[in-house]
Amino acid sequence: MSALRWAESILLQFPMRIGLGGLFVFAALKKIDNVQAFAFAIKGFKILDPDKHGQLIINAAYTIPWVELIAGILMIIGFKTRAATAALGLMLIVFIAGLLHVIFDPSIDADCSCFGDMNLVCSSKVGWCQVIRDVVMLIPVVYLLWRGGGILALDSIFDKKKCLQDSNSNSNSTNQVDDLGIRA
């Protein structure tokens, strides 16, 4: 059972964490480097009216890359893996919704700007390729949400410590009960 856990952790969870987390860190750094272009990209999706919700678009342009960066780093080191995975999963769902909005509105001609000025697998123009790419990225998200970060994650070290502390406190309380029992 333990060998299986190790195998799963080394072959699935660890590569998934490094791959997905690294991808989001890379994407975040590209966006943080050019917030202006990312703000234009969000405006280009035409989900929010820039006249009415301009400040919201600017706030999103500043916040989204940092959320990607923090969640990506947490995923790589395996600390609070489920929370980081959930955050990235939610963002992927929002991205997919935005992409579908552009695809189904032929009057919108938007660039993805998913990785700044770089193209990963797909061209920069919004299309089904980006949707498929994001859906594929959701697969490890679902898996990591279900199984956690694995043995090689920092979470497992903290969980072990917590378990030891819990078992110690449990054994202490048991001893106290025993003592009380003896005294009784």
Partner 1 sequence: MKCMQTIGGVLAIVGLGYLCGIGQAFMRDVPVILGAQPTTTNSSSLLEDADSVIKDTQVQVESDPIESTPNTVESPVDTDPLLDAPVPEGMLSLREALQLWNDGAYFIDSRLRDEFDAGHISGAAYLTAETFFSPEGEAEMTTIPPDATVVIYCIGGEECDASKNTLALLQQSGFTDLRIMGVGYDEWAAAGLETEVSP
**Residue numbers at the binding site for partner 1 (CB under 8 A):** 32, 34-37, 39-40, 43-44, 50-51, 54-55, 57-59, 61-71, 74, 80, 82-84, 86-87, 90, 107-111, 113, 116-117, 124-125
Nearer to partner 1, 9 or 124 (CB): 124
Tell me how far, at minimum, the Cβ of 61 lies from partner 1, in Å.
Answer: 6
CA atoms of 99 and 77, how far apart (whole Å) = 30
Q: Where are the alpha helices (DSSP H) in 45-153?
A: 50-77, 81-104, 128-147
- Chain center to CA of 165: 29
Contact yes or no for 75/11 (Cβ under 8 A): no
| CB closer to partner 1, 48 vs 132 | 48
Shortest distance (Å) from residue 43 CB to partner 1: 5
User: 2: which 2 tokens?
Assistant: 């333990």
CB nearer to partner 1: pick between 2 and 107: 107
Q: What is the residue whose two structure tokens read 């989001």?
A: 24
CB closer to partner 1 out of 25 and 175: 25
CB of 183 to partner 1, least distance (A): 35
**Least spacing, CB of residue 25 vs partner 1, in Å:** 13
> Nearest Cα to 133, choosing from 145, 119, 121, 118?
121
Do residues 57 and 48 make contact, with C-beta atoms less than 8 angstroms apart? yes
Which residue, chain included where needed, has tokens 């917030």?
Answer: 35
Q: In terms of Cα–Cα distance, which of 10, 126, 179 is closest to 134?
A: 126
Enter the DSSP assignment of 127: S
Q: For partner 1, give the closer residue by CB, 6 or 62.
A: 62
Of residues 86 and 154, the one with the C-beta less far from partner 1 = 86
CB of 163 to partner 1, least distance (A): 14
Q: Report, in Å, the least distance between residue 74 CB and partner 1.
A: 7
